[in-house]
């Protein structure tokens, strides 16, 4: 419990100690974010704020937020916002928290699209709009459709498109990959679930306990989504169109094989910031 008489700076120290004792690496910076959320004050700012004595309601709010973080709920989920490609994206419980790794997929897509491209983009498994909105924010003539099986994730995507003034170029629809879609699209992008089912429970607790299983579980070998996407992608693409997908560690040969069997040619492999192959680009035909 945070004792009465505690000021903001002391509360930040106490919070950081408790998070660190639970093995949370970025304890100091996360304590600062949680205190700012609970009090509206920034404990790192010099001057009056740090010495502000907390009232009981503020102490309760801080306790509640620390308790959530101690269950390994990620800070982005607690504050309800994730940063990606310079955009702030609102998140709800059905949304995967955007990962820096996914920048490789966005880079792959942007390389395919000239600055003035009037391309139509299809994002399969759009979640809160992460990939599609990042691309549209950089390509002002492009438009896109984001598909997801989760209506709740799509609600966040629509909110994000509005907040980023991209709603006139971004549409969203509930669906299962390309089922029932007509096209044609110039580019399909997808960061599908790609974790083998048996590995999901062993992921770090922030992911295993708090990311939606629908966003993680890629079936027995992690490749179910790629099979479904490539089997039908040619039908909704323009001739010579492209598919760019994010992949899990070590999945490049298998995903390339699935695509090849569906008459797609691998044209590029892009690694993430750790040097791990993370995005593959394929051309139709």
Give residues in contact with ligand SAM (CB under 6 A): 96, 98, 102, 124-127, 130-131, 147-150, 153, 176-177, 191-193, 214-215
Nearer to ligand SAM, 8 or 195 (CB): 195
Plot region of 202 (φ>0 → left; ψ -120 to 50 → alpha; else → beta): alpha
Q: Which C-beta is closer to ligand SAM: that of 124 or that of 135?
A: 124
- For the bound state, the minimum distance from the C-beta of residue 157 to ligand SAM, rounded and expressed in Å, comes to 9
Q: What residue is closest to ligand SAM based on CB?
A: 125
Cβ–Cβ < 8 Å for 214, 195: no
Please, what is the minimum distance in Å from the beta carbon of residue 177 to ligand SAM? Answer: 5
Give the residue with the Cβ less far from ligand SAM, 58 or 191.
Answer: 191
SS3 label, residue 18: helix
Q: How many CB atoms neighbour CB 29 within 10 A? A: 13
By beta-carbon proximity to ligand SAM, the closer residue of 65 and 226 is: 226
Least distance (Å) between residue 43 CB and ligand SAM: 31
Least distance to ligand SAM from the beta carbon of 279, Å?
A: 11
CA-based angle 77:192:242, to the nearest 5? 130
User: Which CB, 19 or 206, lies closer to ligand SAM?
Assistant: 206
Report the residue number, 13 or 120, with the smaller CB distance to ligand SAM. Answer: 120
Which H, E and C letters describe 153-179, residue by residue? HHHHHHHHHHHCCCCCCEEEEECCCCC
Tokens of 134: 């990042």
Question: Measured from the CB of residue 156, what is the shortest distance to ligand SAM in angstroms?
Answer: 10
Helices 8-21 and 27-39 pack at an angle, to 10 degrees, of 130
Least Cβ distance, residue 192 to ligand SAM (angstroms)? 6
Greatest Cα pair distance in the chain:
70
| Cα–Cα distance for residue pair 175/193, rounded to 1 Å | 15
């Amino acid at each position: 419990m945070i004792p009465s008489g505690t000021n903001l700076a002391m509360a930040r120290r106490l919070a950081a100690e408790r998070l660190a004792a639970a093995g949370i690496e970025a304890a100091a910076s996360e304590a600062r974010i949680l205190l700012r959320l609970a009090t509206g004050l920034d404990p790192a700012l010099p001057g009056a704020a740090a010495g502000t004595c907390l009232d009981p309601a503020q102490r309760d709010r801080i306790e509640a937020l620390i308790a959530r973080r101690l269950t390994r709920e990620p800070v982005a989920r607690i504050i309800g916002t994730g940063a990606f490609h310079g955009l702030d994206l609102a998140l709800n419980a059905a949304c995967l928290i955007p990962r820096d790794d996914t920048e490789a997929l966005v880079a792959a897509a942007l390389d395919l699209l000239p600055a003035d491209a009037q391309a139509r983009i299809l994002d399969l498994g759009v979640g809160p709009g992460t990939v599609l909105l990042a691309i549209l924010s950089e390509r002002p003539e492009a438009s896109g459709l984001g598909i997801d099986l989760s209506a709740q994730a799509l609600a966040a995507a629509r909110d994000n498109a509005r907040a980023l003034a991209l709603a006139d170029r971004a549409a969203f629809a509930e669906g299962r990959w390309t089922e029932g879609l007509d096209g044609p699209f110039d580019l399909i992008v997808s960061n599908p679930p790609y974790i083998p089912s048996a590995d999901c429970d062993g992921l770090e607790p922030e992911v295993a306990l708090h990311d939606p299983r629908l966003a993680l579980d890629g079936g027995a070998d992690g490749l179910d989504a790629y099979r479904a996407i490539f089997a039908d992608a040619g039908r909704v693409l323009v001739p010579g169109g492209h598919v760019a997908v994010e992949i899990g560690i070590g999945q490049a040969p298998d995903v390339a094989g699935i695509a090849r069997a569906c008459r797609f040619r691998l044209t590029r492999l892009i690694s993430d910031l750790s040097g791990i192959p993370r995005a593959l680009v394929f051309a139709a035909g």
